[in-house]
Amino acid sequence: MDFDGQLEKVVEPFCETTGRKGLPPGVYFRMIFIGYFEDISTQRGIAWRCDDSRSLARFLGYTPGESTPDHCTLSLPENVCRWRFISSRSK
């Protein structure tokens, strides 16, 4: 099963076509899973843990020389979803 491919099809209607390249959905969900299974309650903690562990970075698809996403990048999808929900309620 191609998890990343399936996930990208699901979230495609919600993706922006302009601006900087976003965090791949598969990486985002893997980081959220890591936070859940390791009982890490903050995005900063999840980002630190993923950057600190070579095995977790590899699980996310990053090589040892690459940096994993920081907490600001990790919190962006949540903030966008919250903003869209609030703006849809105000109409």
- The answer as to whether 26 is a domain residue is yes
Length reported for the chain:
91
Give the span between the Cα atoms of 48 and 56, in whole angstroms. Answer: 11
The closest of 24, 62, 26 to 50, measured between CA atoms, is 62
Domain count, the chain: 1
pLDDT in tens, 37-76: 999 988 889 999 999 999 999 999 998 888 888 877 776 5
- The answer as to whether 53 is a domain residue is yes
pLDDT value at position 18? Answer: 74
Position with higher pLDDT, 88 vs 49? 49
pTM recorded for the entire structure? 0.71
**Angle CA 44–50–52, to nearest 5:** 100
pLDDT value at position 17? Answer: 75
pLDDT in tens, 16-42: 777 667 788 888 889 989 999 999 988
What letter represents residue 39's amino acid?
A: D
**Mean pLDDT, the chain, integer:** 80
Intra-chain end-to-end CA distance of the chain, in Å? 39
- The answer as to whether 34 is a domain residue is yes
- The answer as to whether 12 is a domain residue is no
- Whole domain around residue 79: which residue ranges? 22-89
Paired tokens of 17? 């076509």
Residue 84: pLDDT band with limits 50, 70, 90: low
